[in-house]
Amino acid sequence: MRVFVTGASGWIGSAVTDELLSQGHKVVGLARSDEAAAALDAKGAVAHRGSLDDLDSLAAAAEAADGVIHLAFKHDFSDYVGAGHSEHAAVLRMLDVLEGSDRPFLVASGLATGVTGRAVTEEDASPFHGADSMRGGSENLALSYAERGVRPVALRFAPTVHGMRDHGFTAQLTKIARERGAAGYIGDGSTHWAAVHRSDAARMVRLGLEKAPAGARLHAVAESGLPSREIAAAIGDQLGVPTVSVAPEEADAHFGWIGRFFGMDIVASSAHTRELLDWTPTGPTLFEDIAAGAYALTQ
């Protein structure tokens, strides 16, 4: 397949690009910069210059592809509403050109569904609708096109997609711990994060492109829920600093923007995804990655 991938040079996207190429697919990756274009060219992918705000460019690339994997997102936490509006517009434009084609459109999403007291499953619908909601309501927007001749699939990634050279949420927590001389958790540390290794997530995405039916929600989850206190302790052990509790009312001051995410309780199952795709995570666990030094050089 000729697959248009947004975010193709990002943390998850670059692994997805490698996975697709290894299985004989052709990748056309969205590239905002010369550096991103060069990285894609070096892999054997085709760079398509543009951005999430260049809707005509997105539409042209989507229309020319056999399928789309949309992984890019503006992670601007100073203007999260604006990022959501941009996401909504980009997804809508690509879906419109795919309408009636029966081609796959896979969209990155998350596991924050508002479910409490149990693990989030693939049956749980996202509560976010419309451009003003989280991630611009892109998951529900995409899934609504199942009745309009598109094969939409929601890719729900665990809060931490970890691995060597990860610069995401766990890297940010490590950076804060190094700066403050202590690895913190919020309150009693009983909240949880699901986790998945980057290689496992990439393989799930490729299998979803090839096999998932229209309207499917896929969970990139290997570990259903790791207590935040244990995550902090693993970071502290690696850095050689103590682990401390941070009062909830002080979380913003201590953690900054990531505090709102670290304070979420996100436990999720991937049982249906594993059965549907015959997908079994095999990569290292989060704690194995931390102990192996995946975040030792985090700046």
Structure confidence by residue, pLDDT tens digits, 216-266: 999 999 999 999 999 999 999 999 999 999 999 999 999 999 998 999 999
For 58, 72, 161, 186, the CA distances from 54, given in Å and listed in that order, are: 6, 13, 28, 40
189-215: average pLDDT: 98
Confidence at residue 265, expressed as pLDDT on a 0 to 100 scale: 95
**Three-class HEC string of 174-190:** HHHHHHHCCEEEECCCC
- What is the pLDDT confidence band of residue 298, given thresholds at 50, 70 and 90? low
**Three-class HEC string of 142-208:** HHHHHHHCCEEEEEEECCEEECCCCCCHHHHHHHHHHHHCCEEEECCCCCEEEEEEHHHHHHHHHHH
How far is it, in rounded angstroms, from Cα 95 to Cα 149? 10
DSSP-derived 3-state class of residue 24: coil
% of the chain residues with pLDDT over 90: 90
**Running DSSP on this structure, what letter comes out for residue 218?**
E
At residue 273, φ and ψ (nearest 5 deg) are -60, -45
Confidence at residue 113, expressed as pLDDT on a 0 to 100 scale: 85
**DSSP H helices in the chain:** 11-22, 34-43, 55-63, 80-98, 138-143, 169-180, 198-211, 228-239, 251-255, 259-262, 271-277, 286-291
Q: Which residues of 102-125 are buried (b: 16+ CB within 10 A; e: fewer)?
A: ebbbbbbbbbbbebeeebbbbebe
261-288: average pLDDT: 97
- What is the pLDDT confidence band of residue 105, given thresholds at 50, 70 and 90? very high
How far is it, in rounded angstroms, from Cα 28 to Cα 296? 33
Confidence at residue 299, expressed as pLDDT on a 0 to 100 scale: 47
113-128: average pLDDT: 93
How far is it, in rounded angstroms, from Cα 8 to Cα 99? 23
Confidence at residue 116, expressed as pLDDT on a 0 to 100 scale: 86
How far is it, in rounded angstroms, from Cα 178 to Cα 296? 10
Q: Is the pLDDT of residue 98 over 60?
A: yes
Residue with tokens 């690509």: 94
Work out the mean pLDDT of the chain and round it to a whole number. 95
How far is it, in rounded angstroms, from Cα 33 to Cα 50? 8
Q: Measuring CA to CA, which residue among 69, 35, 65 is closest to residue 49? A: 35
Confidence at residue 25, expressed as pLDDT on a 0 to 100 scale: 98
Q: Is the pLDDT of residue 297 over 80?
A: no
Helices 55-63 and 80-98, packing angle to 10 deg: 40
268-278: average pLDDT: 98
DSSP-derived 3-state class of residue 109: strand
